[in-house]
Structure 1
Amino acid sequence: MNDQAFYPIGTPGQPWGAAEKADWLSRQVRRRSYADEVVSVIERLRPRFDVEEYGRLQYGGESFPLFAIRSRDWNGDRPLALVTGGVHGYETSGVHGALRFVDKHADDFAGRIDLLIAPCVSPWAYERIHRWNPDAIDPNRSFRENSPAGESAALMQLIAPARERIVMHIDLHETTDTDESEFRPALAARDGKPFEPDGVPDGFYLVDDSERPQPAFQQAVIEAVSKITHIAPADADGQIIGSPVVAPGVIRYPLAKLGLCAGMTDAPYKTTTEVYPDSPRATPEQCNAAQAAAVCAALEYVLAHR
């Protein structure tokens, strides 16, 4: 099967130009409402937390406000923990897991650590259930200076004044069946490369920073999440998504080098969660709960080891 048979846009071996990107964009359909499903939840949290609009994305005739949630008792002398979700808009539990954490658990950390939560970094992609923004750019490869992605640039600007205080950053993601059926083939087509099929791991896993690994921190998160949903096993080659498994449910990437969200700070503790919502062994409720549990475990570990 050649690339063209696998993905309907572009010419195999040739990166997309403006025409192919416009073709791709014309096929994107709004499937759900950021205002109804995300902003409305944030609004209900305003009586208990400080909410700010940290940016606004303009795409065509659409405008998307970007919201961050802060601890009500914010104290600039305390360490700061950053929670991000929805960098890939289609990864639903990243968004709703972050909001669940705020609603059900953030109060438990009042007075102990400052919290900054950006629950839906990519609202246009949330509505289209997609990985990219309208320019066919992946925000989660764009956390670098002069970012080509407005989503990434806005988030980096938000954290800039407090960047040195950030001791922990947990970025909430999912790995889905559509990664293999849609998003990886689209990426290969966009970049003019052959699509190389891989597997989709069945279960939860974490991505640590290969430049500054924190194995005990990762393991604390895995242990907490394992009480809610199953942890992804290694494949026959001892890998998860092509990377060696260094501990149960843990792989490592060079986060900053790849422009990943979890690599945009120098926080000593950082991780990317990956839930598998398409598993027959997991429900949407479990996925959201697993994300919230991961945040809680990460925070408790950091507080206990500072």
Structure 2
Amino acid sequence: MQSSFYPIGTPGVPWGEAEITAWRARQQRQRSYADEVLAAIDRLRDRYDVVQYGQLDYAPDIYPLFALRSRGWQDGRPVALVTGGVHGYETSGVHGALRFADRDAADYAGRLDLLIVPCVSPWGYERIHRWNPRALDPNRSFRPDSPAPESAALMALVAPIADRVRVHIDLHETTDTDETEFRPALAARDGQPFTPGSIPDGFYLVDDVDAPQPGFQDAVIRAVSAVTHIAPADAHGEIIGSPVVAPGVIRYALRSLGLCAGLTDAPYRTTTEVYPDSPRTTPALCNEAQATAVRAALDYVLGQ
């Protein structure tokens, strides 16, 4: 656990441009968006319409943004939206979405139109970071006039079909680095003290406090529990500081917090969270849990 102040900035003083530049200089590419994500999307081109919905110009790097759209798209058909990699470091969100697209999506042909966006934040994916290069969290930036280009591009993609989106499942994960890097960096950036917390050991969901769907959330939890373990409540009956309202389920104000899952008014929405650093699971099981969560969400909605 980090006990000293984050190595950039002055305690109690929010970052300015100099601190953001210093932070960005510390971020090194650790994996390849082209090799690990774009290559996987290319292998799916014979089954999907691959749509480029934007491009991020973070000189010297340029990142094309792609979505997978069902073949035979019909304007009157309900849409299922699957998003991953809003936080680029959350690996299973990206590869869980790709696994679902490769293995499972054909089972829903003709029943739902699928829009799958596997990696919303490729700069963060390559650097295994939560933020974009402007030290902004895309998952707090889904709001009008978004300051995060990743979020703005996804909002523009979804806007024309937002009223058709019946279900949106946003795939995330929590790692040990939330406590050792990301939350300390957030506190330093905002000029706030860092208060250590804990990482939930297992899978859980974030429902919408303003439009809860307990049956929907429960269906996803039950399906995923056959793949990996569900995070228990802590001693206070909470997960990450929020009351547990059902096994493995908490609630956030999705829209007002600018979260990706609040992007539309879809009646069925959830954010998944898995914990790949747990000794009780593996990265492969986390990918499987994410794909299973998508299937369970779609099956529940079709059953309604």
TM-score, normalised to structure 1, is 0.98
Query: Which residue in the other structure is 1:76 paired with?
Result: 75
Task: Please report how far the alpha carbon of residue 303 of structure 1 lies from its aligned counterpart in structure 2 after TM superposition.
Answer: 0.6
Structure 2 equivalent of residue 131 of structure 1: 130
2:52 aligned with 1:58 = no
For residue 280 of structure 1, give the secondary structure of its aligned residue in structure 2: coil
Equivalent residue number for residue 217 of structure 2: 218
- What is the CA–CA distance in structure 2 between the aligned matches of 1:185 and 1:20, rounded to whole Å? 14
Could you state the TM-score of these two structures normalised by the residue count of structure 2? Answer: 0.99
Report the Cα distance in structure 1 between the residues aligned to 2:226 and 2:71, rounded to whole angstroms: 30
Q: What is the one-letter code of the residue matched to 2:293?
A: A
Alignment length (residue pairs): 304
Letter in 1 for 2:27: Q
d(CA) in 2 for partners of 1:168, 1:143? 17
Give the conservation status (yes or no) of the 8 Å contact 2:142–2:259. yes
What per-residue deviation string (whole Å, max 9, x for no partner) do you get for residues 193-252 of structure 1?
A: 011111100000000000000000000000000000000000000000000000000000
Structure 2 residue aligned with 1:244: 243
For 1:224 and 1:6, the matched residues in 2 are separated by: 41
Q: Do the aligned residues in 2 keep the contact of 1:2 with 1:12 (CA within 8 Å)?
A: no
Name the counterpart of 1:267: 266
In structure 1, the partner of 2:171 is: 172
- SS where residue 99 of structure 1 aligns? helix
Q: 1:215 to 1:144 in 2, by over 3 A?
A: same
Look up the equivalent residue of 2:300 and give its one-letter code. Answer: Y
1:91 is aligned to 90
In angstroms, what is the RMSD of aligned CA positions? Answer: 1.0
C-alpha displacement at 1:49, in angstroms?
Answer: 1.0
Can you give the 5+ residue segments of structure 2 that lack an aligned partner in the other structure?
A: none
Q: C-alpha distance in 2, partners of 1:61/1:20? A: 20
Match of 1:11 in 2: 10
CA shift, 1:76, in A, is 1.1
Q: CA deviation at 1:60?
A: 1.3
What is the rounded CA distance, in whole Å, between the counterparts of 2:13 and 2:84 in structure 1? 33
Contact 1:7/1:189, CA 8 A, preserved across alignment: yes
Between the aligned partners of 1:281 and 1:99, the Cα distance in structure 2 is: 23
Cα offsets for 1:127-182 (capped at 9, x unmatched): 00000000000000000000000000000000111010001100000011000110
CA contact (8 A) 2:2 2:179 kept: no
Question: Does the CA-based 8 Å contact 2:5-2:11 persist in structure 1?
Answer: no
Other structure's SS at 2:43 match: helix
Equivalence for 2:181: 182
8 Å contact from structure 1 (residues 87, 120) kept in 2: yes
Give the CA deviation at 1:2.
9.7
Q: Which shows bigger deviation, 13-22 or 71-80?
A: 71-80
The residue type equivalent to 2:52 in the other structure is E
Q: CA deviation at 1:75?
A: 1.1
What's the counterpart of residue 196 of structure 2? 197
Q: Distance in 1 between matches of 2:41 and 2:200?
A: 31
Take 2:292 and 2:219, find their aligned partners in 1: how far apart are those partners? 11
**3-state SS of the aligned residue for 1:6?**
coil
* In 2, Cα distance between equivalents of 1:89 and 1:95: 8
| Percentage of pairs with the same residue | 72
- Give runs of ≥4 in structure 1 deviating > 2 Å: none
Which runs of structure 2 are paired with 1:98-117 in the superposition (5 Å)?
A: 98-117=97-116
**Secondary structure, aligned partner of 1:117:** strand
The separation in 2 between residues aligned to 1:245 and 1:263, in whole angstroms, is 20
Q: Which SS does the other structure have where 2:29 is aligned?
A: coil
